[in-house]
Copies of this chain bind each other. A is one copy, B any other.
Amino acid sequence: MVKTTSLLGKMAGNRTSRRGFLQTAGVTALGGAALAYPLSRDGGLIPGAHAQEGKIPDFVKSKDLDALIKHSGKTYETKRGFIGTSVVTSNDIFYVRANLPEPTDAILDDRNGWEVAIEGVKNPGKMTLGELKNLGVQTVATVLQCSGNGRGFFAHETSGSQWTVGAAGCAIWSGVPLKTVIDAMGGAADGAKFITGTGGESLPDGIDPKTVIVERSVPIEAMENALLAWEMNGEAIPLAHGGPLRIVHPGYYGVNNVKYLTKVALTEQESEAKIQQTSYRVRPVGEKGAPDQPSMWEMSVKSWVTNPVETASPGKVQITGVAMGGLGDVSKVEVSTDGGKSWQEARFVGPDLGKFAWRPFVLETELAAGTHTIASRATNEAGDTQPEDLPPPPRGNAHNGWKAHAVDVKVG
């Protein structure tokens, strides 16, 4: 685990590149006309293809679209200037990212009747959400962040949504601790090394399920903080965010927090799904994804400025942003208004929601007329500081270099 974290800090991985996909196995059926969903050459959904042009899909209708950048009909990020200083990110402006078409609203009609299979335990079986709610309650605040957040800042060509900073938000989740559930099922089966969560999206016909299913494994050490969650920021989890039931792994990239959870298994091996085996793997440019590369698991230390981002008036200004520590507390944030030549320590504002949450920060300063390059640089309790840039060869994921995240602000 430590090795992975450190790798993620030193380099950046990528999803399977589209160009490389046809060399992977088991996907010869891909060009078939019988597919239920429009798929790209790598088996991923074609961005925007699911949603009719100009139409907002139902599952994002409750969103404040003025606050979002639309990358496709089911892919939205929060605009940089709309990320506030209230610690939590409102569900109305929270980013949306889906690997498969979302289920219909009908799955929310009987939330408490939703069933999840618990496997890899002494007494495997199914539990309903209603039963889970009687078993235990815990609440944790955590940043949820797509591992591709920041992809748009890479200088080289990258495949996938060109996220800037807004494929991330901080939410407070309530659910039952996974370990409570496992205990109720007799404890882990022998040899369990991973927690494997399976999503409940419908799969297209005529294609090997492994190539599209959302099924992710994380090291069993994540058990300590894992929740089977039914509540997000005080309301029943919206469909766009995985309701009725989602697995939440605090400190882990978004893809691991499987939505519409239908199965949790403690497994000896990682899932055989493509999304686990070859996608979301950290590797140099030019290499194909492979199971022996580090997976997109733990997040790393990161921060970005949220105001000002384009223009400001000369004089006093409050430079604000958010900073996260990854798997541990963020301990310091510095802000530069000269592109990194000099730094000043910012102060954190608002309540501290715990080590997995992000912390809004503020630096009060004066800006003269002209153009200023404003950057932020966070350090976590382990002493990890954001790098200026990722050492070559950077890929399309896990970007936490402070330089590329800076903004040029025109003052005057």
* Interface-facing stretch out of A134-142, A267-275, A297-305, A389-397: A134-142
Q: Is A86 a contact of B134 with CB atoms below 8 Å?
A: no
Query: A322 CB to closest chain B CB, in angstroms?
Result: 10
Q: Is the interface of A mostly helix, strand, loop or mixed?
A: mixed
Considering only CB atoms, which chain B residue lies closest to A357 in the complex? B351
Query: A363 CB to closest chain B CB, in angstroms?
Result: 10
| Residue from the list B92, B232, B315 in contact with A134, Cβ < 8 A | B315
Q: Is B139 a contact of A85 with CB atoms below 8 Å?
A: yes
**Contact A351:B349 (CB < 8 A) given known A88-B234, A134-B317, A318-B136:** no
Query: A356 CB to closest chain B CB, in angstroms?
Result: 10
List A residues 231-259 near B (Cβ within 8 Å).
Answer: 231-236
- In the bound complex, residues from chain B placing their C-beta under 8 Å from that of A338 are none
Q: Is A231 a contact of B86 with CB atoms below 8 Å?
A: yes
| Residue from the list B88, B137, B307 in contact with A233, Cβ < 8 A | B88
- In the bound complex, residues from chain B placing their C-beta under 8 Å from that of A231 are 84-86
| A90 within 8 Å of B (CB atoms) | yes
Q: Is B139 a contact of A86 with CB atoms below 8 Å?
A: yes
| A62 within 8 Å of B (CB atoms) | yes
Cα(A192)–Cα(B349), bound, Å: 29
Query: A3 CB to closest chain B CB, in angstroms?
Result: 30
The contact size tier of chain A is: 35 or more
| A364 within 8 Å of B (CB atoms) | yes
**Contact A90:B87 (CB < 8 A) given known A139-B349, A350-B140, A351-B351:** no
Cα(A137)–Cα(B347), bound, Å: 11
Q: Is A139 a contact of B360 with CB atoms below 8 Å?
A: yes
| A313 within 8 Å of B (CB atoms) | yes
Give per-residue flags for A50-67: 1 if the beta carbon is below 8 A from chain B beta carbons, else 0. 000000000000101001
| Residue from the list B92, B133, B316 in contact with A318, Cβ < 8 A | B133
Give per-residue flags for A343-369: 1 if the beta carbon is below 8 A from chain B beta carbons, else 0. 000000111111001001010100000
Query: A383 CB to closest chain B CB, in angstroms?
Result: 24
Cα(A134)–Cα(B316), bound, Å: 6
| Residue from the list B91, B316, B349 in contact with A92, Cβ < 8 A | B91
- In the bound complex, residues from chain B placing their C-beta under 8 Å from that of A360 are 139, 174
Task: Report copies per complex.
Answer: 2
| A89 within 8 Å of B (CB atoms) | yes
| Residue from the list B91, B136, B137, B364 in contact with A90, Cβ < 8 A | B91
Q: Is A137 a contact of B349 with CB atoms below 8 Å?
A: yes
List A residues 40-90 near B (Cβ within 8 Å).
Answer: 62, 64, 67, 82-90
- In the bound complex, residues from chain B placing their C-beta under 8 Å from that of A86 are 139, 172-174, 231-234
Cα(A233)–Cα(B315), bound, Å: 28
Q: Is A85 a contact of B137 with CB atoms below 8 Å?
A: yes
| Residue from the list B62, B234, B349, B362 in contact with A87, Cβ < 8 A | B234
Cα(A86)–Cα(B350), bound, Å: 17
Considering only CB atoms, which chain B residue lies closest to A94 in the complex? B234
Q: Is B316 a contact of A135 with CB atoms below 8 Å?
A: yes
| Residue from the list B88, B93, B236, B313 in contact with A172, Cβ < 8 A | B88
| A320 within 8 Å of B (CB atoms) | yes
Which among A138, A140, A353 has the highest number of chain B CB atoms within 10 Å?
A353
Given A62-B92, A86-B234, A87-B234, 8 additional A-B pairs, CB 8 A: A86-B173, A86-B174, A88-B233, A90-B233, A133-B307, A134-B313, A134-B316, A138-B350
Query: 17 pairs across A/B with beta carbons < 8 Å?
Result: A82-B235, A86-B174, A87-B139, A87-B234, A88-B172, A90-B233, A91-B92, A92-B235, A133-B307, A133-B318, A135-B318, A137-B318, A140-B350, A140-B351, A141-B351, A351-B351, A351-B353
